[in-house]
Amino acid sequence: MPTIKDVAREAGVSIATVSYVLNNKAASISEETRLRVLEAITRMNYKADVTARNLRAQRTRLIGYAWHEEKPGLQNAILSQFIYRLAKAAEACGYHVLTFTFPTGDPVSAYDEMIRTRRVDAFIVADTVENDPRIQFLIERRFPFASFGRANPLWDFNWVDTDGTSGVRAAVAHLVALGHRKIAMVTWPENGLTGYYRVLGYQQGLADANIAFRDNYILRGEQGIELGRSALAHFLSLSADDLPTAIVTVSDLIAVGVIQEAEQRGLEVGKDLSVIGFDDEPMSRYLRPPLTTVSQPLETICTELINMLNAQVHEQQEKTSQVLLTPHLVERASTGAPRRP
């Protein structure tokens, strides 16, 4: 591998000159030598050693992303799309994404290690939980990071999030427009922030249409498909008059469960029962019927996150920013007018 010295020798100049050419330093290099150096560079197929550059510049151009242990069946395909888009957005700014893992019990020390060894310039945190200890830690440490997801309304840090409230609200509005009045919801356990905002959207959507909120129309649980199945079973066990005609869920996976159970019980989804998911996973358009769902604007999320990092790292900006992105509803065939409104 040629170094800057080799190029300098080849071009008959000093290494400083090569460096100037490399970095387009205004320190005006004569066109003649510039070309000579450039020619030597291409001839030797030279590229600057990034480690040496980084040592000199005291940065790594690396963004840390902690890879989450996936609980079987619980995770969605969204995260893997997310990291792909993140890598792309990072590359557009000359960064790369360095992945690492952390033990479930102790999320913080893996981040700490990365900071102390100066492995990365910043972090992207995703899949956050309420009062996420990683975020608390990074705030205290005053280390640059941006989060996909909120953690605590009182904490001041950079985050981007999908506005789950408006997403679910739009979902409910869509159902109401179709003529539904008996709309149930399936969501995660009570302690999560993401679920909280989505339930809020559900309640707002009902309120918009002057529909009373009923406790027995909301069901909570952990596991995606299973949850969807048991949720529908639960709703169908209500008295005939109370049977919901539509079900809003907080993930496509849950919606899949609802659809499976419905088909098995001979209900035609989209006709007898309307179902809405959340995420717009790649497979959702291929379900039968294709799933109406709320689409997460992943690409925008990622570019926003990277922008925040840039603002923080480069421009030493102290002010944090928060971005709430309105998702859009993708109307497909799993929703339709109720049979008996």
Partner DNA sequence: CTGTTAGCGCTTTCAC
Partner DNA sequence: GTGAAAGCGCTAACAG
Does the protein bind a second copy through residue 271 (CB under 8 A)?
no
One residue of 5, 16, 67, 191 binding a second copy per CB under 8 A: 67
Residue 15 interacting entry, from a second copy, DNA, none, C-beta within 5 to 8 Å by type: DNA
Nearer to DNA, 118 or 339 (CB): 118
C-alpha dihedral over 32, 35, 37, 38, to 10 degrees? 170
Could you tell me the smallest distance in angstroms from the CB atom of residue 219 to a second copy?
17
Candidate ranges 19-27, 141-149, 232-240, 261-269; the one touching a second copy (CB under 8 A): 261-269
CA separation (Å) from 323 to 25, 150, 164, 185, 299?
36, 10, 13, 26, 14
Does the protein bind a second copy through residue 83 (CB under 8 A)?
yes
Contact 87, 80 (CB under 8 A): no
Lookup result for tokens 């400083």 = 16
Does the protein bind DNA through residue 30 (CB under 7 A)?
yes
Does the protein bind DNA through residue 56 (CB under 7 A)?
yes
Q: Which 3 state secondary structure label does DSSP give 162?
A: strand
Does the protein bind DNA through residue 314 (CB under 7 A)?
no
103 secondary structure, DSSP code: -
Q: What are phi and psi for residue 192, nearest 5 degrees?
A: -85, 150
Read off the tokens for 43.
């001839």
Does the protein bind a second copy through residue 55 (CB under 8 A)?
yes
One residue of 28, 30, 51, 239 binding a second copy per CB under 8 A: 51
- Cis peptide bond prior to 107, omega within 30° of 0: no
327 secondary structure, DSSP code: P
C-alpha angle 65/76/328, rounded to 5°? Answer: 95
Q: Which stretches of the chain bind a second copy, using CB under 8 A?
A: 1, 45, 47-52, 54-55, 60, 62, 67-70, 72-75, 77, 79-81, 83-84, 87-88, 91, 96-101, 113, 116-119, 223-226, 229, 253, 257, 260-261, 263-264, 282-283, 285-288
**Which residues contact DNA (rule: CB under 7 A)?**
3-5, 12-17, 19-20, 22-23, 25, 27-30, 32-34, 48-49, 52-53, 55-58
